[in-house]
Amino acid sequence: MKKRKFALLLTVAAILFGIGNTAAAAENDGVPIVIDGREIYSDVEPYISNGRTMVPIRLISEELGADVTYDPEERSVTINSADVGIYLQIDNTSVKVNDITQTIDISPEIKNGRTMVPLRFIAESFGCEVVYDAETGLVTVTTEIKPENVIHEKPNGPYVEINDNIPYFTEDEITDKPFEKYSELDSLGRAGVAFACVGTETMPTEERGSIGQVRPAGWHTVKYDFIDGKYLYNRCHLIGYQLTAENANEKNLITGTRYFNTVGMLPFENKVANYVKSTENHVLYRVTPVYEGNDLVANGVNIEAVSVEDNGKGIKFNVFVYNIQPGIEIFYETGESVEADDAYLYYLGKTVEESSTRATDTTFESTESTTDKVTEETTEETTQRKSERTTEETTQIKTESTTEEATLETTVKMTEETTENTDQNTSQNQASIYSYILNTSTMKFHYPGCTSVKNMSSKNKQSFTGSRDDIIKMGYSPCERCNS
């Protein structure tokens, strides 16, 4: 699987740290900046002003993947990326980030013909972590794809590795003493972080019991004929039963799709279980559900794991597993769903009613009596347990990679067959008239509901009504999030 990652390491040698002394800079020309192992020099070296490290704006912004535009009349600088828009003026502490006005403690300034800005402000606006080492005078900026930053990326499989596949555990958290911790449900009834040190001591000694009485946030009993077992949703354990023997613990259950549960999460649980059983070592294991706003259903979970006794040689991973189902459009706000050609319509901000017109079959199940409902849930639960148990018993570490690849191949084939009919109408759809939002800086066009639109600078935002072909002829290219 192609690993999506973006890791940037920027080290600035900040010399002669002098609070309030704008002239306190080193006499060496070309203070080294190291980015991804590459040493880069600026003709205007970084310096300390009022306790802040000042760096050339174009150097840091472009290395963060953003475009920089300077307006000499306004003496202003605009920085734009897909998700962040920053507007600054020279000698002005009032700035705008995604059109929201903020005040910073030191204003941008001109030095040797270069616009210098506070490094921490720019880096943190892009979601980076900034650390200053007073002893060495080094400023380290690290940015990576974190769970909350990948939920709107179109999945290229059941999961994506994050932080170079290295978990976020701190030294204080590492222990070989078995424990389990489960967050309290929040005000919306949603489960939170589940954290455990898994060992043979925590594993079950009997078969799993019923969990049908638990209805996690966003739960719907709904079936689609083409899904294995027919039921869209499973009651998904954050930490699998085979690891900690937690059965009907509502703090450890979320609403998740069949694909999410058996193709996304289960292989990682099996890997940990097999390792623990074969070595009797311990694995630190944490699962964090990621919700957007007040959505009842999680967009996915961040799973971190590291084997303790061998310092990660046996087990080490950090992944985000997408809560998706090929061929199904899920509305995470409520848990409702429709069968759809494009399983990513929620990026466009469409409602259930709007999307259902594109669905080939909307199959929300209505239960006419309590007996019917109990029967359905019991059947769904039995199917889920049987499938999970069979998968657990037959999955071996040496065949996990092959099994996963075969599953993904089948899923892709199914998705391609589901969308085959839409290809016949491509030409007709290209000529349809729609409303779009243009980004005049990046030359990308978006659907109005695309998440990139709300983060777009108003200065670069332009509305357009017409066909897709018309926009492409104007030199614009489609947004990869909402048009791909």
Range of 464's domain?
429-478
Residues 366 and 467 in one domain: no
Report the pLDDT value the prediction gives residue 289, as an integer from 0 to 100.
95
Q: Could you tell me which residue, 377 or 211, shows the higher pLDDT?
A: 211
Last residue of a domain, one of 144, 173, 188: 144
Other beta carbons less than 10 A from residue 23's beta carbon: 9
Q: What is the pLDDT of residues 314-335, one digit of tens each?
A: 999 999 999 999 889 899 999 9
Residues 363 and 437 in one domain: no
Q: Is the pLDDT of residue 164 over 60?
A: yes
Q: Is the pLDDT of residue 313 over 70?
A: yes
Say what angle helices 370-394 and 266-279 make with each other, to 10 degrees.
50
Residues 315 and 345 in one domain: yes
Mean pLDDT, residues 406-432 taken together: 45
Residues 153 and 139 in one domain: no
Q: Is the pLDDT of residue 362 over 90?
A: no
Let me know: does 228 contact 384? Beta carbons within 8 Å.
no
Lowest-pLDDT range, 137-151, 175-189, 274-288?
A: 137-151
Residues 120 and 174 in one domain: no
Residues 267 and 332 in one domain: yes
Report the pLDDT value the prediction gives residue 365, as an integer from 0 to 100.
35
Long-range contacts of 85-89 (CB under 8 A, 24+ apart): 85/455, 85/456, 85/457, 85/460, 86/122, 86/125, 87/457, 87/459, 88/57, 88/117
Candidates 456, 455, 444; CA nearest to 482 is 444
Residues 128 and 161 in one domain: no
Instruction: Give the Å distances, CA to CA, from 70 to 102, 397, 415.
Output: 20, 55, 45
Helix (H) or strand (E) holding 374: helix 370-394
Q: Which residues contact 421 (CB under 8 A, 6 or more apart)?
A: 341
User: What is the arrangement of strands in the sheet containing 114-118, beginning at the earlier edge strand?
Assistant: 47-49, 52-56, 114-118, 109-111
Q: Is the pLDDT of residue 428 over 60?
A: no
Q: Is residue 171 part of a domain?
A: yes
Give the count of domains, the chain.
3
Other beta carbons less than 10 A from residue 15's beta carbon: 17
Report the pLDDT value the prediction gives residue 433, as an integer from 0 to 100.
65
Token pair of 374 as six digits: 């109990």
Q: How far apart are the first and last CA of the chain?
A: 19
CA atoms of 301 and 191, how far apart (whole Å): 11
CA atoms of 164 and 318, how far apart (whole Å): 8
Q: Could you tell me which residue, 372 or 113, shows the higher pLDDT?
A: 113
CA atoms of 228 and 232, how far apart (whole Å): 9
pTM above 0.85, yes or no: no
Q: Could you tell me which residue, 463 or 28, shows the higher pLDDT?
A: 463
Q: Is the pLDDT of residue 231 over 90?
A: yes
Residues 82 and 205 in one domain: no
Q: Could you tell me which residue, 472 or 370, shows the higher pLDDT?
A: 472
Residues 319 and 434 in one domain: no
Residues 129 and 233 in one domain: no
Q: Which residues contact 151 (CB under 8 A, 6 or more apart)?
A: 290, 292, 299, 300, 320, 322
Percentage above 70 pLDDT, the chain = 66
